[in-house]
Each structure stands twice: as C-alpha cells, then as structure tokens.
Amino acid sequence: MPRIYLSPSLQERNPYVIGGTEEGYMNLVADAMEPYLRSNGITFTRNRPDQTLSQVIAESNASYYDLHLALHSNAAGAGKEGTVRGTDVYYYTLSTEGKRAADDIVITMKEIYPLPDRVRSVPTTSLAEVRRTIAPSVLVEIAYHDNVEDATWIRNNIEGIARALVQGLTAYFQIPFVEATAPQQGTAVTAGGVLNVRERPTSASAVLGVIPNGEAVTVNGAYDDWYIVNYQGLVGYAARRFIQTV
C-alpha cells in the first residue's frame, strides 16, 4: 500500500491577509487529510512545525516513500500583491512520476477551486522539496494567501481541499477513493484459516500479509466487498465477509 511523506508548510511568518499564517492553515489542511488517508489505506509520516526544511528533507530521504507531498499557499511578487489567484502544483522537471502525481492532483483541484482554468501543474528545478527529495515529489501552492478571495476560500474549504488532495493521491496510486469514516474495531473470522490482506481490492491482487483467525483488526474504510484494514501495522484490503465489526 502507498506510503507518503506529508509536509505542511513550516513558514510561520507568512501572514494571511485575512489573519493567520501559512504554517497554521497548511497544518489544518494536513489535519483534515489524515482521516481520508487512513480510510484509503495510505500510510504517512508527517513533518513537525519545529523542524527546519533541511531536517524535513533528510527525514523524508531516510526512509522509502512513494511520494513526498508538500502543502503551501502562495504570494504574488513585488508590485502584484493581492492581485494574483490560482493553484500551482509543482513537480521536478525531470521526474515522470512527479509530473503524473501533479497532473492527477490538478484534475481533482480543478473540481473545487472557483477558477479551474487557473489550476495548473508547473515543472521546476528550484524548489528544494521537489529537487532534493529522493521520492517523487509534489509541492502544492493551494492558493494565494495575499489575495482576500483566495485566502478566504482556503479558510472556508479546508475539508474540501483535503478531500480533493487525497482524491488526487488515490488516482496517482491507482486505488479507489473512499470517503473518510471513523475507524471500527473488528475480528477476523475465517473458520480456522488466515485472512489475506491484499494490495488492491481484488482476489487476484498480491497478498501483503495475513491475519490469523480470531485476531483483532482496525477497519479504516470500505470499498465494495472489501475493508481497508490495519493489522499491527499491516495495511491493505481484506474481504469484508471474513471480518466481524463491533
């Protein structure tokens, strides 16, 4: 199952024109993403506000991740303050996977941003979080925090932004998107055998591991005849007919 490094902005000194900071709002988006990530079987490591950018990049590079996702909001250049709007999704110019992730996120962000023609993917070689990370990487400038309309849109649409970003991730990882639900506790009931945990919601998919009969399991989401489960850190899809929920 996919693993991402989730990196909301560390820029506590970037003020929003409506009050608040870039760091504060991007952490709200990351907070809102977490239930969607868990329900869709995407495991994640998240940065901390007390880290430096170099520490974040080093932490991301210290383990294997399928994607590094940085969350930011933008500001226009000198002389254009407050006049620019839009969503820019940056990826490293030479990264095929980064471009594919960016393009998938663009599609889902276009569905919720009020000016969809201003949502675009942008190649770059200058941004450290897309240039220096080992994993394919995307940096999303969600909207312009020096523009009143954009900043207000971010503030009023935290949940929708989080949902759209995870929808883009599921498209990139080629797994079905499911709505966020509260975790449930369940028990594997297999008449003595083991329950396979699979990479995709199909019996033809690769087996990632097994759950012994009678073992407790956390159910984080559901898709058709499958549950998205977490069994002692093993995350994947398990046939729901073999799990009894509380």
User: Helix (H, G, I), strand (E, B), or coil: what is residue 131?
Assistant: helix
Q: Please, are residues 166 and 37 in contact by the beta-carbon 8 Å criterion? A: yes
| Length, in residues, of the chain | 246
Domains and CATH numbers, the chain: 3-173 (3.40.630.40), 184-245 (2.30.30.40)
> How far is Cα 244 from Cα 188, in angstroms, rounded to an integer?
6
56, containing H or E segment: helix 53-61
Model pTM score: 0.95
Q: Is 156 left (phi over 0), alpha (psi -120 to 50) or beta?
A: alpha
- Return the pLDDT at 192: 85
| Percent of the chain at pLDDT exceeding 70 | 100
Write the pLDDT tens digit of every residue in 183-238. 999 999 998 899 999 999 999 999 999 999 999 999 999 999 999 999 999 999 99
What pLDDT was estimated at residue 79? Answer: 87
What does the pLDDT read at residue 125? 97
Low-confidence residues of the chain, pLDDT below 70? none
Tell whether the torsion through CA atoms of 108, 69, 236 and 232 is positive or negative: negative
pLDDT of residue 77: 83
Cβ(189)–Cβ(201) below 8 Å: no
Q: How far apart are CA 197 and CA 236, in angstroms?
A: 5
**Dist. CA 88–CA 138, nearest whole Å:** 10
